[in-house]
Amino acid sequence: DGLARSLGVCNVTLPQLAGLTDAARVRPALVQVECHPYRPRDALVSWCHRHGVRVVAHSPLSAPGLLDEPVVHAVADEHGVSPATAVLAWHCTRGVVPIPSTTTREHVVANLAAPRHSLTDDQRDRMAGLADPAFQR
């Protein structure tokens, strides 16, 4: 009916997204999925970036154990930031928009500042070692 100019979809698989894109007159502008170093969604992110679709990462920090990972602490130490900032910077460096939630004032400020930090290729490679195809919440 011409009431929507852009579409956002959430919690889709890559086949579902590709099917929707084929069928829809208006391509999705963004896709929101659970995404973090345990579940980087590489294929979906690459596809979206090739097709001009923005990826939004929900639940970027709350995967159990993520902020305790030694590699996350190491990367954080190299930047002089917290593990949470290192994870958020990992998203931003790969062109994904993380949407952390927080009830802590200091975390709001730190989370907004996280995109100032870019991970090096080496740091991204080390973070990639956290990917776990069996990850389930």
Ligand X SMILES: NC(=O)c1ccc[n+]([C@@H]2O[C@H](COP(=O)([O-])OP(=O)(O)OC[C@H]3O[C@@H](n4cnc5c(N)ncnc54)[C@H](OP(=O)(O)O)[C@@H]3O)[C@@H](O)[C@H]2O)c1
Closer to ligand X at the Cβ: 77 or 122?
A: 77
Closer to ligand X at the Cβ: 6 or 104?
A: 104
Angstrom distance (rounded) from CA 27 to CA 51 = 9
Closer to ligand X at the Cβ: 8 or 129?
A: 8
Q: Smallest distance from the beta carbon of 92 to ligand X, in angstroms? A: 14
Angstrom distance (rounded) from CA 89 to CA 34 = 16
Angle among Cα 119, 106, 77 to the nearest 5 degrees reads 35
Angstrom distance (rounded) from CA 71 to CA 52 = 31
Q: Give residues in contact with ligand X (CB under 6 A).
A: 10-11, 32, 58-62, 82, 84, 99-104, 107, 110-111
Question: What does the block give as tokens for 28?
Answer: 């999705």
